A and B are shown apart, each in its own frame.
Chain A
């Protein structure tokens, strides 16, 4: 009986246990049979990481196949977000290890930590993907991180291509730089498959051709343990490298242009007498165009910089310095300068095309027109339009410019492409400004007098002062158009897009914007005029081209900035050879002081380099070409310096330095008296300044150039106009038109 009761209880207990086990079996079969696939996916997500592999960006190659921008591998540090409690400790350790790194220079450990946390926070949503925290990490730091491997779970060291610049600062502001994509850029380019941490061209060609250069991201599937430490590679999807850009630029010529320009800036201080405010860095720009097709052979913008600083991670201090100095700007297209006398070809075109002067029209220049003085005291004597260009006669252009008016001059400025974007394949191009009645009205809205266009506005405009503002590229292209007989090309920097395996994907052919609406005869006269500029005895650039092995055409410009210190930009436009022109050059040196004395030698040096390199396409650099040329002629290069091959025998009394050497000619060395003072306008006597002239306007100012002294003209009443043009000695002199 008792045994039976026990048996019943035992059976009950066993049933209970069996029931419990059944529950377990049901649960397990749910997990392992029904939901198995889901958990298998989860397990894979746990232990497999898809690590993006950065593609190498396309190379940037010069026209001779020389690599200007490539890639080099660097160490990068990434962190996988672990979500574990010790993330804080890991970030701490890592911040300490990275403290010495370039990318975090000048930051305290606490700041680095905050920066790391911010980066990781931004990517928290993608739990299992590594976050980039530093690139270009030094080998020592990599070694130290490896030492702390066990303390740093989830920290991944990887190798990644970054931009490499074998030529340092060569072409830097044109190339632009690459950096990690920013939030706004990411938003904007969402559908193009960008991700946080991707490279993105920020400025210059890198930005313009981002789509071409970027390539396609690859991926690496890695097996990791719970601490995010990679255990093995499961496979790699190779990244597709970006396509290469083949530039129209010749790296050797570019180097020569940059070097020459740097000497030009030095000359601005020594020879040009620039009065530079303390915190200002002088800028300078030089553009070399092939006049036959609009190819940019060199584009130098100073100050330049080594874009390598961005590849290794720029510090905020460095970035601020670069920005402040204006090094990140391409001054050839992003900065506009007052053209000064280089504008006179526009005026000349307007005068001829508008029928205001005839080719044979002559005036006698006494050295002033009404209140405005010529740059040369006493004047140039008898002057026709060619000679007006040759000696840069202000009086001639004052007088007829006043008759031509802004519409006519503006029309031909625009005809030559001034005041409109050239459409070059670079971002951020400035359009410049052609003065006009409308523009003046707009900026002087509340001045009943000054909002009107006056005669002095026309005369200012005629000599390239006033509101005229153009980029160095526009000026070069304008000179190229004069050179090639009126064909305005769209300048371009990229010749071809080439795939990594060498196939040409796109070829950019020359694009003619228009044949300018200027008669052949007019162009011919202007070409003759600018050719004469380079001829002795009194062409303003005759000293510049003394001894050149080629015939050139040029125009100097010394543009008043309109600041209190009386600074002037030095400008120089040239093309060569005069017959069958090939290249056009523009040089602008901020505060350079003298067009012929400071900017001219730079242009000369660039043109010399162009012809030397053209004859020796094999040469690796300008120096090599010089040496070879010297050897061919059986000359011994003078010790310590390469002699300019085109160096002419020195003229007596003209100690002009070797072309390749210190090219900054001193003012007095210029041949012939006109160059003595270059084309600086002498200080105007106070008679010009109207009674009660604003004290703010420097006495030297004959005209209100730029906005700097906008108060002055208020009192500049027409009735004070005065000095009639000198009595013409020759019949074709046109009587001065009444002021409008």
Chain B
């Protein structure tokens, strides 16, 4: 296929929508990273919109533009290479995927309590981002042969193992958010590969029940442990009083000592059980962070701080927002990591409900175009690829905005094409490249 024809056949709606999101993102990044340090800054919000743009903080914006350019180049490459050829090497890509993920675990950089980056020349690079794309490519190749043979649970086991291997490596970082992306994308692709929907639903249901069981089991263990500890402390006070008031061998002292020792044993037992649970599942602090979104105000100055500030940012934006450079939460730095994972809070604060709606609309448009592409793909492989990319995209958007607005657990998931971050931006542009790849090679009948 000639390049000219490819250019002519590109999906420009998709491209322009993506460009719109990226531009919007650049403006918000420039705003988010600007910290007000003296009074002169507070005058900025009185300027007109265009002049305001000139006052943004360009440090991260320029870096992001650099990532966008690299991403666009790689997108072009992704469009150019026929997707069949890409998938042909899926075994190699799969091994490459495992290798880079293993590399993270061996010599990765640590940030926010997890190993996610590896140094690559001057830049840091986040393999788990690219791993998502590689998983879509390789899993599509894996699934395309199994189409129609996915009616029983045991038919699905190889699929689970295939996706499970890289996923476990990511879970070990630990990066729960990305692992969940894997699960979501896998189910979407299985659904399109004609796995029995009822079976998938059962598995999802079983998973949900399992998670619910884990949570309630933890809640039970945790609460009994704490309750016993409290009782023990109270009894210790009582013991001290009784011992102070009575002689050493009096029946009262013996009785209270017996009671105390019994309770001590119980408490120790409960504590051990509780610890054992955490040993094999998530740690206590991970559990706390994961579920703090249910009640961020329970720990405003600790685990709930980030989310609470995010809610204040979004909520205080109101209908029309405080205007670019008008966000007090943003510019007085109350909101941490506001140019990456929590960038949507800045949108909510400065552009309000209307700005958020526009952004959501743009994302929905991309998803809509992606789904059209899945439908118009030349073959089943193309459809599968498109579905993989679209489901990944949709999941990211939903989880990210959900977490900033307090209806999803806070996991480190960026907003695609919008958050600051090289790996994420490049990977998403490459994913769009795959979509466009499928699109330019779409079914002939439509011409």
Query: Does the CB pair B315–A38 fall under 8 Å?
Result: yes
Given A24-B405, A39-B311, A225-B35, A14–B383 Cβ distance below 8 Å? no
Q: Is the CB of B374 within 8 A of A10?
A: yes
**B192 and A227 form a contact (CB under 8 A):** no
Encoded as 1 (CB less than 8 Å from any B CB) or 0, chain A from 558 to 588 comes to 0000000000000000000000000000000
Interface with A: B9-17, B65-73, B158-166, B390-398, which one? B390-398
CA separation between A10 and B377, bound complex, in Å?
A: 12
What are 28 A-B contacts defined by CB distance under 8 Å?
A5-B194, A6-B383, A10-B371, A13-B192, A13-B391, A23-B407, A24-B360, A25-B360, A28-B356, A29-B353, A31-B314, A32-B315, A32-B319, A33-B353, A36-B315, A39-B314, A39-B316, A46-B329, A47-B329, A47-B332, A83-B301, A223-B332, A225-B37, A225-B331, A225-B333, A225-B334, A226-B332, A231-B36
Return the CB mask of B389-424 against A: 1 if under 8 Å, else 0.
011001001100110011100000000000000000
Closest A residue to B357 by CB, please name it: A25
Measured CB to CB, the closest approach of chain B to A400, in angstroms, equals 68
A36-50 near B? 1/0 per residue, CB < 8 Å: 101110111011000
What's the Cα separation between A31 and B328 when bound, in Å? 17
Closest CB-CB distance, A660 to chain B, in whole Å?
60
Q: Least Cβ distance of A230 to chain B in Å?
A: 9
With A17-B390, A18-B364, A24-B402 given, name 12 new contacts (CB 8 A): A5-B194, A6-B383, A10-B374, A13-B192, A20-B398, A31-B348, A46-B328, A47-B329, A47-B334, A225-B37, A231-B38, A231-B41
- Tell me, yes or no, whether B39 is within 8 Å of chain A by CB: yes
| B363-403 interface (Cβ within 8 A of A) | 363-364, 367-368, 371, 374-375, 383, 387, 390-391, 394, 397-398, 401-402
User: How many whole Å from A232's CB to the nearest CB in chain B?
Assistant: 4
Q: Which residues of B contact A438 (CB under 8 A)?
A: none
Q: Are A28 and B36 closer than 8 Å at their CB atoms?
A: no
Q: Is the CB of A28 within 8 A of B39?
A: no
> Taking CB as reference atom, which chain B residue is nearest A28?
B356
Min CB gap A219→B, angstroms: 19
Closest to B374 in A: A10
In whole Å, how far is B153's beta carbon from the nearest beta carbon of chain A? 21
Q: Could you tell me the distance in whole angstroms from the C-beta of B362 to the nearest C-beta in chain A?
A: 11
Beta-carbon contacts of B304-331 to A below 8 Å, as 1s and 0s? 0000010111111111000000001101
Q: Which B-chain residue is minimally distant from A29 (CB atoms)? A: B353
CB within 8 Å of A: which B340-364 residues: 348, 352-353, 356-357, 360, 363-364
Contacts of B364 in A (CB 8 A): 17-18, 21
Q: How many residues of A contact B (CB 8 A)?
A: 42
Judge if B263 is at the interface, Cβ distance under 8 Å: no
Judged by a CB distance under 8 angstroms, whether A507 is at the interface is: no
Question: A32-B318, A43-B312 are contacts. A17–B301 as well, Cβ < 8 Å?
Answer: no
Complex CA distance for A432 and B331, rounded to whole angstroms: 68
- Please state if B405 and A28 are interface contacts (CB–CB under 8 Å): yes
In Å, the complex CA distance between A626 and B397 comes to 92
Q: Tell me, in angstroms, the Cα distance from A25 to B402 when the chains sit together.
A: 10
Contact B360 A223, beta carbon cutoff 8 Å: no
B298 close to chain A: CB less than 8 A: no
Q: In the complex the two chains form, is A14's CB within 8 Å of B36's CB? A: no
With A13-B391, A25-B360, A231-B38: A36-B318 Cβ-Cβ less than 8 Å = yes
B316 touches A42 (CB 8 A): yes
CB distance from A636 to the nearest CB of B (A): 65
Q: Is the CB of A32 within 8 A of B394?
A: no
Residues of A within 8 A of B41 (CB): 231
Indicate if the CB atoms of A232 and B328 lie closer than 8 Å: no
Contact A32 B317 (CB under 8 A): yes
Are the C-beta atoms of B357 and A21 separated by less than 8 Å? Answer: no
Q: Do A27 and B333 have beta carbons less than 8 Å apart?
A: no
- Is A224's beta carbon under 8 Å from chain B? yes
How far is B360's CA from A38's CA once the two chains are assembled, in angstroms?
24
Q: Compute how far the CA of A43 lies from the CA of B364 in the bound complex, rounded to whole angstroms.
A: 30
**Complex CA distance for A25 and B335, rounded to whole angstroms:** 22
Interface: A321 (CB within 8 A): no
Residue pair B375, A13 in contact (C-beta under 8 Å):
no
**Known: A27-B405, A226-B333. Is A14-B371 also a contact (CB below 8 A)?**
yes
CB distance from B299 to the nearest CB of A (A): 11
Interface of A is mostly: helix
Cα(A17)–Cα(B398), bound, Å: 8
* A24-B401, A28-B356, A232-B42 as given contacts; A39 in contact with B301, CB under 8 Å: no
- Report yes or no: A227 in contact with B374, Cβ–Cβ below 8 A: no
> Does chain B have a CB within 8 A of A35?
yes
Would you list which residues of chain B between 30 and 47 have a CB under 8 Å from chain A? Answer: 35-39, 41-42
**Does the CB pair B394–A17 fall under 8 Å?**
yes
In-complex Cβ contact of B407 among A27, A33, A38 (8 A): A27
- Nearest neighbor of B331 in chain A, beta-carbon distance: A225
In the complex, A143 has a CB within 8 A of chain B: no
Residues of A within 8 A of B402 (CB): 23-24, 27
Residue of B at shortest CB range from A12?
Answer: B191
A24 partner residues in chain B, CB cutoff 8 A: 360, 398, 401-402, 405, 407
| Nearest B residue to A9, CB-CB | B192
- The interface residues of chain B lying within 8 Å CB-to-CB of A83 are 300-301
Min CB gap A738→B, angstroms: 66
Cβ contact of B313, chosen from A7, A43, A84, cutoff 8 A:
A43
Give the 4 A-B CB pairs with smallest separation, nearest first: A39-B315, A232-B39, A83-B301, A43-B316
Residue of chain B at shortest CB distance from A17: B394
Which of B316, B334, B360, B406 has the most C-beta atoms of chain A within 10 angstroms of its own C-beta? B316
Complexed CA–CA distance, A47 and B353 (Å)? 22
With contacts A14-B368, A32-B356 known, is A225 near B316, CB below 8 A? no
Q: CB-nearest residue of chain A relative to B360?
A: A21
> Complex formed: what's the CA distance from A10 to B376 in Å?
11
The answer, yes or no, to whether B264 is at the interface (CB within 8 Å) is no
A240-B100 Cα distance, complex, nearest whole Å? 69
> Which residues of A have CB within 8 Å of B192?
6, 9, 13
Contacts of A84 in B (CB 8 A): 301
Whether B252 is near chain A, meaning CB under 8 Å from some CB there, is no
Evaluate contact between A42 and B357: CB separation under 8 angstroms.
no
Asked if B53 CB lies within 8 Å of chain A CBs, one says: no
Question: Could you tell me the distance between the alpha carbons of A38 and B371 in the complex, rounded to whole angstroms?
Answer: 39
Whether B407 pairs with A32 at a CB distance below 8 angstroms is no
Q: Does B221 contact A (CB under 8 A)?
A: no
Give the contacts of A28-71 with B (CB-CB under 8 A): 28-29, 31-33, 35-36, 38-40, 42-44, 46-47
Cβ–Cβ contact B367 & A14, under 8 A: yes
B188 interfacial by beta-carbon distance below 8 Å: yes
A176 to B123, CA, bound (A): 69
Could you say which of B39, B316, B348, B357 contacts A231, with CB atoms under 8 Å apart? B39
CB of B24 to closest CB in A, whole Å: 16
Contacts of B405 in A (CB 8 A): 24, 27-28, 31
A31 engages B332 (CB within 8 Å) = no
Contacts of B374 in A (CB 8 A): 6, 10
Interface string of B98-131 (1 = CB under 8 A from A): 0000000000000000000000000000000000
Which residues of the other chain, A, contact B329 by a CB distance below 8 angstroms? Answer: 43, 46-47
- Residues of B within 8 Å of A233, CB to CB, are 39
**Residues of B167-195 whose CB lies within 8 A of A:** 188, 191-192, 194
A40 to B311, CA, bound (A): 10
The answer for the CA separation of A24 and B394 in the assembled complex, in Å, is: 12
Q: A10-B374, A31-B405, A84-B301 are in contact. Are A225 and B383 (CB under 8 A)?
A: no
Q: Which of A10, A14, A27, A43 makes the CB contact (< 8 A) with B328?
A: A43
| Complex-state Cα separation, A33 to B354, whole angstroms | 11
Cβ contacts under 8 Å, B331 to chain A:
225
Q: In the complex, which residues of chain A have a beta carbon less than 8 angstroms from the beta carbon of B383?
A: 6
Selected from B316, B317, B334, B394, the residue in CB contact (under 8 A) with A226 is B334
Question: What residues of chain A lie closer than 8 Å to B348, measured between beta carbons?
Answer: 28, 31-32
Distance to closest chain A CB from B321 (angstroms): 9
B42 touches A31 (CB 8 A): no
Bitwise, A197-240 to B at CB < 8 A (1) or not (0) is 00000000000000000000000000111110101110000000
